[in-house]
């Protein structure tokens, strides 16, 4: 019998202009919390979206996100740009 890992799920993306975002970190529980804490320490805006996080957690590390998730991720990137003052 295996126990399910409880706690937050976090997925970190890296976006470079001209390229699709890539999954650069992901984890649940203690690892998920560490990703969240690190983002907060560096002033990275956070956006909670459990269904999107679940979908992105299936992407292999350093792989580009699948085309089916472009729209959802674009909405998150727009949120981050607005929050950080780069998009009005």
Q: What is the pLDDT of residue 5?
A: 65
pLDDT digits (tens, 9 = 90+) for 46-60: 889 999 999 999 999
84 secondary structure, DSSP code: T
**What CATH code is carried by the domain that includes residue 75?**
3.40.1690.10
Total domains in the fold of the chain: 1
* Within-domain flag for 3: no
Residue 86 has pLDDT above 80, yes or no: no
pLDDT digits (tens, 9 = 90+) for 12-43: 999 888 899 999 999 999 999 999 999 999 98
* Within-domain flag for 79: yes
Residues with Cβ within 8 Å of residue 65, at least 6 apart in sequence: 13, 20, 21, 22, 23, 56, 59, 73
pTM of the model: 0.83
User: 36 in helix, strand or coil?
Assistant: helix
Instruction: Show the domain range for 55.
Output: 9-83
* Within-domain flag for 18: yes
Helices (H), 1-88: 30-41, 50-56, 70-83
* Within-domain flag for 4: no
User: 52 in helix, strand or coil?
Assistant: helix
């Amino acid at each position: 019998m295996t126990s399910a890992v409880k706690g937050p799920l976090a997925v970190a993306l890296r976006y470079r202009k001209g390229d699709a975002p890539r999954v650069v970190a992901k984890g649940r529980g203690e690892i998920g919390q560490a990703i969240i804490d690190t983002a907060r320490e560096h002033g990275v805006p956070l956006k909670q979206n459990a269904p999107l996080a679940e979908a992105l957690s299936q992407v292999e590390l350093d792989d580009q996100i699948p085309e089916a998730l472009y729209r959802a991720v674009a909405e998150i990137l727009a949120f981050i740009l607005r929050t950080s003052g780069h998009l009005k």
